[in-house]
Each structure stands twice: as C-alpha cells, then as structure tokens.
Amino acid sequence: MLDDSGGRIARELRDWIATAPPGARLPSTRELAARHQAGPVTVQKALRTLTAQGLVEARPGVGTFVREVRAARPADYGWQTTAMGGTTAPAPGLPTVLRTAPNDVVALHAGFPDRELLPERLVRSALARAARTDAALSRPPAAGLPELQAWFAGELRAATPADVAPPTPRDVVVLPGSQSGLSSVFRSLVGRGQPVLMESPTYWGAIQAATRAGVRIVPVPSGSDGPDPDELSRAFASSGARLFYAQPSYANPTGAQWSADRARRVLEVVRAHGAFLLEDDWAHDFGITTTPTPVAASDDSGHVVYLRSLTKSVSPALRVAAVVARGAARDRLLADRAAESMYVSGLLQAAALDVVTQPAWERHLRGLRPQLRARRDLLVGALAEHTPQVDVEQVPAGGLHLWARLPDDTDLDRVVAGCEAAGVVVAPGTEWFPAEPTAPFLRLSFAGPDPGRFPDGARILGEVLARVRR
C-alpha cells in the first residue's frame, strides 16, 4: 500500500497522463520529489504503481514515459505452414500425464510419483553438497561423470551371471533424462524412414520420440506376459526392422513383467535377426513384490541397448539417466548426444550420484515397497467395490500404474470428460497405443497425491460410467 504522499503523487500523475500524448516523458524522480516534497522512495513506489497499471513504462537509463497504446490486430502466422512443410509428428497438445492438476481434484493420471514417495532429504542435502564442489562451475565429460558411469555399470554388473561379460563404465553414456535417450537411439540406430518394432500398448513418450525422429512404428501386440516371441519374429521378418523397443519390467502402461523364459526367448529372436533390443528399465526402483532382472544382464554381444532413469525414483528435478550400449552403437549414441546437448549438467550428475551412493538410499528403496503396495491395493480394492464393470486384468508386481479396461461399448472420451467435470482426472488409454486401440482403457496411477481419496475417485468413475452407458 502507498502512504498518503505516494497516493497523492500517483493520483496527480494519473491526471497528467490522461492529457499527455503517448510517449511523453515524465519528470525525473528528483524533480517529482522536489515538486511534491516527498522522498525518492515514495516517488518510486508511485511510479511502480503506475507501471503495474499499464499507464507508464520505464526505459532503463532513459526515463519513464507515458505508455503508447498499440492497436491490436490478429497475428498471421500462416506463412509458417509453407516454411515448415508437412509433418508426421503427433498432433500438438500436452499428454495427459504431464498435466498439472489443481490440488482439489483426485489425480489418477499422474506420470510421476508423489512427493512423499521421493527421498526428499537426501536430494536436498545432495544438491547443497554438489553446489559447494567444482561440479557447480566445471564442464563434465560428454559421456558423463566417470563415477556416475561406474555406478550405472555396477548396477547392471550386479545382475550379470558369471558366464557373461559385465558392462564397463565406458559403455555408459549419461543422459539428461531417458526421453532424450529414446530420441538418440531412434535417430542413431534406426534412422529416418526405417521401421522400429514396439510393444502395443507401450510408453507414450517412446511413441512420440519415434514419430518425431521420423521412424516408422510397427506395433507388436503385448499382453500380461509380454510379447509372443513367435509373433515378434514374424514382425522382424516382414518389416525388416532392426530394433525392438520394449519394457520387460513393469511395462508402462500394462504393468507386465516378462518371465525369465520369455526374456530368454525374446533375446534369442533379436539375435537371430541381427537386431537390437532397446530395453527401457524405467521402473527398476519400483518393485513391489518382485525384483527386476534386466535382460541386458544376460547379453554381452551388444544386442541389448539398456536405458535406465533416476528421474522418477530420485526426483523429477534431477533429470539424469543413462544408456548402456556396447561397440559402435555406443559411439554413435555418444556422438548424437554430444551434437544434441553436448553434456549433462555436472551439478545434477553430482547430486544424483550423491543420492544413490548414500546408505540411506537403500533404506529408502526398502521403505518404498510397502508404500507402493498399500497404494496399489487401495486403488485395486476401491475399483473392485465401486466400478465392478472395470477389468484390471493384472495387478502389477511393480511400477506405478494400473491398466484398466472398460466395457467395449464405452465412449471413452465422454468418460474422461465426465470424470474431470466431477473432479477426477484420468488418462485415456489411447495415448499408449502406437496404432488403433484394441479396446477402451484407462491408465490409473496409484503413485499420485492424496491416496486417501482413491475411493472417492473410483466411486466417481463408477457413477460416470453408469451415466455414459445408459
């Protein structure tokens, strides 16, 4: 609030501005202070008030001027259509999982874990320590901090059988999040116009990354046990593809986890076709009743390109991930990343390394399992009680989501809109299909905020379904 002098100055200046021509210069602060017998601070407050009201504009080093009112006219960006040419990229718009929902709704669409599931104290302490090191000012190597490369390699080495050669730190390229890794793999190992095999349904971000890289997606049906190896082999043979993107552990969105036999057979198919398996181990830290074993741990011939992220398990603010690749594939990926982003922030790398090498990190992961299990079971139970017409085919052994199938005659768009109008945000399953959806699905997160409201969300979903299907 302005004091009486400031208010008086502002009022008198407003009267003067009303008759002054646009662009007229106001008296200096010193002149106004002398004229109104006020201090310079009071005058500055009055000028800031007029600036906030859009009456004047300050030009540093020049003065303050009556603001010129510019006539509004519709912008014409039509020329860009010809300049940019056609596109096969997805239609513009923010994916549902990236929407920020108000805190008064039941958010069942979340793509990231709730804050209470994160190691907040570890992250804050790690960032503070990293800021006091050379990482705050120096440029890290293009492939990543050597210590962080060694940590990622060590994580995979721990699961590697004795008769398989483990990865080395050199095989690791640190990334600014796994999404950039997907883009690099599709550009470097597939190439524009070439086919890539993908599970269907699969991660929406992989679909977008592949589409924007200009590769041609060939969907391979995948169920609760993963893809059929025979079907996968036929897809390789008919398409000529040389890369298969998959999520063997807690697949997003289905929650599927491959058995050891399924992983072995898929790897045999990939090798037989001289191809790559891009293994996205996004949920490695989110096991609930099982512990994932990466397919990459069984391969030392360079067929598996392994992608692991810390963004979801450590903090969304620390976008740090890594790709593990061997041979010339690693060199191509590093060259692409160097051209795209040069390097990953050393500060973020140092903080992420600090978190995952603290003894408290393992304690955090052990405590995370029962929290995820309680949330999962709460949502599964609420759906069973309030929406018996919804089929959750598989209760996942890990991950963050449920894949819920609605009755085949359901109008999915009306369900999503009806839920949002009633205060529940859900993610339509169409965003996870690289081709036509096989049925109406919702992907429901049990890792979002306020799990105590999961029953309310399930009840509202049931009521909306009943109205839509009348």
pLDDT of residue 240: 94
**CB 264 within 8 Å of CB 216:** no
pLDDT(456) > 60: yes
Of 81-95, 393-407, 437-451, minimum mean pLDDT range: 81-95
What is the pLDDT averaged over residues 65-70?
77
pLDDT of residue 77: 56
Looking at every residue in the chain, the average pLDDT score rounds to: 89
pLDDT(1) > 50: no
At 146, is the pLDDT very low, low, confident or very high (cuts 50, 70, 90)?
Answer: very high
C-alpha closest to that of 303 among 250, 219, 242: 242
pLDDT of residue 105: 85
Q: How far is CA 69 from CA 13, 22, 57, 139, 343, in A?
A: 17, 7, 11, 46, 45
Q: How many CB atoms lie within 10 A of CB 117?
A: 21
What is the pLDDT averaged over residues 175-182?
91
What is the pLDDT averaged over residues 66-94?
57
Tokens 């609760």 belong to 224
pLDDT of residue 356: 95
The pLDDT tens digits for 274-304 are: 999 999 999 999 999 999 999 999 999 999 9
At 69, is the pLDDT very low, low, confident or very high (cuts 50, 70, 90)?
Answer: low
pLDDT of residue 94: 63
pLDDT(83) > 60: no
> Which percentage of the chain shows pLDDT scores above 70?
93
pLDDT of residue 340: 86
pLDDT(182) > 90: yes
The pLDDT tens digits for 184-236 are: 999 999 999 999 999 999 999 999 999 999 999 999 999 888 999 999 999 99
Q: How many CB atoms lie within 10 A of CB 100?
A: 7
pLDDT of residue 2: 45
pLDDT(82) > 60: no
pLDDT of residue 53: 84
pLDDT of residue 93: 63
Q: How far apart are CA 26 and CA 322, in angstroms?
A: 57
pTM for the model = 0.80
Instruction: Assign 3-class secondary structure to the chain.
Output: CCCHHHHHHHHHHHHHHHHCCCCCECCCHHHHHHHHCCCHHHHHHHHHHHHHCCCEEEECCCEEEECCCCCCCCCCCCHHHHHHCCCCCCCCCCCHHHCCCCCCCEECCCCCCCHHHCCHHHHHHHHHHHHCCHHHCCCCCCCCCHHHHHHHHHHHHCCCCCCCCCCCHHHEEEECCHHHHHHHHHHHHHCCCCEEEEEECCCHHHHHHHHHCCCEEEEEEEECCEECHHHHHHHHHHHCCCEEEECCCCCCCCCCCCCHHHHHHHHHHHHHCCCEEEEECCCCCCECCCCCCCHHHHCCCCCEEEEEECCCCCCCCCCCEEEECCCHHHHHHHHHHHHHHCCCCHHHHHHHHHHHCCHHHHHHHHHHHHHHHHHHHHHHHHHHHHCCCCEECCCCCECCEEEEECCCCCCHHHHHHHHHHCCEECEEHHHHCCCCCCCCEEEEECCCCCHHHHHHHHHHHHHHHHHHCC
335-343, long-range: CB within 8 Å, 24+ apart, which pairs? 335/188, 336/184, 336/187, 336/188, 337/142, 337/173, 337/175, 337/180, 337/184, 338/142, 340/180, 340/183, 340/184, 341/176, 341/180, 342/142, 343/139, 343/140, 343/141, 343/142, 343/144
The amino acid occupying position 453 is: R
The pLDDT tens digits for 84-105 are: 554 455 555 667 766 776 777 8
pLDDT(325) > 70: yes
The amino acid occupying position 459 is: R
pLDDT(3) > 60: no
**More confident call, 104 vs 17:** 17
pLDDT(78) > 90: no
The pLDDT tens digits for 121-144 are: 999 999 999 999 988 889 999 999
What's the gap between Cα 291 and its chain centre? 23
pLDDT(372) > 90: yes
